[in-house]
Amino acid sequence: MSQTYDTPQDAEDALYDALEDGDLERVMNVWENSGDIACLLPMQPLVRGREAVRAAYEPLLAQGRRIAIAVTHIHWYESDQLAFHLIEEQAEPQGPQGGRPPMAIYATNIYRKGPHGWKLLVHQNAPTPPPPEMMAGIGPRG
């Protein structure tokens, strides 16, 4: 049976809890059941539709892999039907692939309210920019 989320934050909490637990079924429960969904994970091509999104998460959570994720909200917008959450994820692989340093990632989560509550419509990741001292001399050219 599909879980219903009363708020976009409830859906977001469920997503990150499921990722930390390595539970693909719970991850997929957060996603809307439509062909509109899209996911862009780090260093991966954009995927659309439930089967493609599931296939993108499977290797991340295979063989008991877990990801400890600390989420910081940067900005969000919510209306009656849509919610956009801009966050920073501090992700640290656990389990067999553990031992890697934490990775900072920016993410955009877009939720849509439907007949079964709030569900994830789009998840997109991007690496955070390097520290300012590494950016010296890099910027727009005039």
pLDDT of 104 > 70? The answer is yes
Total structural domains in the chain?
1
Does 68 map to a domain?
A: yes
pLDDT of 67 > 90? The answer is no
Cβ-based neighbour number of residue 31 at 10 Å:
20
Average model confidence (pLDDT) across the chain: 87
As a residue count, the chain comes to 142
Please report, for the domain that includes residue 43, its CATH number.
Answer: 3.10.450.50
Does 111 map to a domain?
A: yes
52 pLDDT band, cuts 50/70/90, is very high
> In terms of residue numbers, what domain contains 44?
8-128
The identity of residue 115, as a single letter, is P
Does 97 map to a domain?
A: yes
What's the whole-model pTM score? 0.84
